[in-house]
């Protein structure tokens, strides 16, 4: 029997509904969560993503700001925008859309955003908090979305063998850090595989939960998967297809056709992990507003 699909679109809808409810609760207290997205240049994929983020935040009732800068923006000019947003009390979350033009140091920009407004979860302070299990930081949205998906799908992670294919700082490493914590949706035994792993299939066939973020289309095939396992496909790749209207189709890092015949549950591409990323960005922004509010209240009480 083919694997059951894990519907990321439906789960993301649930998360966004929770975000809208929490936003309304904060607005009733005089706090409107604010998200600012900065786009430098005209990368088509980035522009589509930024529009989606702006629309989603507005639908949730948030204060939404989108700043578009030309492709020849200097690093100093981008820093000026980030500093202004850092100082703006109406903005609780800041996201600088990647990739950035080559004249700008992306890591320097990540570090320029104040950690308490880094709702993308990439600042070294937030990365460190995630690793040691501190709860007042922000996890990157895609791995946080995968964890949320597992929890809401009723998939048991405690004691599970979890294999992650890919060691990026965007997905692989923070995914591992989330799953090894002593917390709900975690307590897994985690293995990270990468381009230098010997006999990759020997590892992936052990996995109760297999999370693939390798950046290689249809990389994981059915013979590499444990029967009945949960397969989470984080990848999204354009593959030429003359039969498609646009001349290409979107596929994951998992060979969906063969893996679905072996796995117990699987995420599709598109419609799996992708919608969860924006949903978790909104969730992080609400948390940022709540933490800022608590800090203001504490400061007022101390005064």
Annotated active-site positions, please?
A: 53, 97, 120
What would the mean pLDDT of 60-69 be, rounded to a whole number? 96
Q: Is the pLDDT of residue 2 over 70?
A: yes
Q: Which residues pair with 96 in a beta bridge?
A: 38
The pLDDT value given to residue 294: 79
Task: Tell me the two tokens of residue 154.
Answer: 């009723």
Give the helix/strand (H/E) hosting 152: helix 141-152
- Go through the domains of the chain in sequence order and give each one's CATH number: 30-114 (3.40.50.10860), 141-274 (3.40.50.720)
142, 277 contact by CB (below 8 A): yes
Per DSSP, 189 falls in state E
The pLDDT value given to residue 298: 61
How far is Cα 224 from Cα 28, in angstroms, rounded to an integer?
51
Digit-coded pLDDT (tens) for 199-257: 999 999 999 999 999 999 999 999 999 999 999 999 999 999 888 888 899 999 999 99
The pLDDT value given to residue 1: 83
R_g of the chain, CA atoms, integer Å: 20
42, 71 contact by CB (below 8 A): yes
The pLDDT value given to residue 242: 86
| Non-local CB neighbours of 57 within 8 Å, separated by 6+ positions | 35, 63, 64, 282, 285
pTM summary value: 0.95
Give the helix/strand (H/E) hosting 50: helix 44-59
């Amino acid at each position: 029997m083919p694997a059951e699909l894990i519907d990321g679109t439906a789960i993301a809808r649930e998360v966004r509904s929770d975000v809208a409810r929490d936003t309304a609760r904060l607005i009733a207290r005089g706090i409107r969560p604010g998200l600012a997205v900065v786009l430098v240049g005209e990368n088509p994929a980035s522009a589509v993503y930024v529009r989606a983020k702006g629309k989603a935040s507005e639908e949730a009732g948030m204060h939404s700001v989108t700043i578009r800068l030309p492709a020849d923006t200097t690093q100093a000019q981008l820093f000026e925008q980030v500093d202004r947003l850092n100082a703006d009390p109406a903005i609780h979350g800041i996201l600088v859309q990647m990739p950035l033009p080559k004249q700008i140091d992306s890591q320097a920009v990540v570090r320029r955003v104040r950690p308490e407004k880094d709702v993308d979860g990439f600042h070294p302070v937030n990365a460190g908090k995630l690793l040691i299990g501190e709860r007042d930081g922000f996890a990157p949205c895609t791995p946080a979305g995968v964890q949320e998906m597992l929890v809401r799908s009723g998939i048991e992670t405690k004691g599970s063998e979890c294999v992650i294919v890919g060691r990026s700082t965007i997905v692989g490493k923070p995914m591992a850090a989330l799953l090894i914590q002593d917390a709900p949706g975690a307590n897994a035994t985690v293995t990270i595989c990468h381009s230098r792993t010997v006999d990759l299939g020997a590892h992936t066939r052990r996995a109760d939960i297999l999370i693939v973020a390798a950046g290689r289309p249809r990389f994981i095939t059915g013979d590499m998967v444990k029967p009945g396992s949960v397969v989470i496909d984080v990848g999204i790749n354009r593959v030429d297809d003359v039969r498609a209207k646009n001349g290409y189709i979107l596929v994951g890092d998992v060979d969906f056709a063969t893996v679905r015949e072996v796995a117990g549950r699987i995420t599709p591409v598109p419609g799996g992990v992708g919608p969860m990323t924006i949903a978790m960005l909104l969730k992080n922004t609400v948390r940022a507003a709540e933490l800022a509010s608590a800090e203001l209240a504490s400061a007022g009480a101390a005064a």
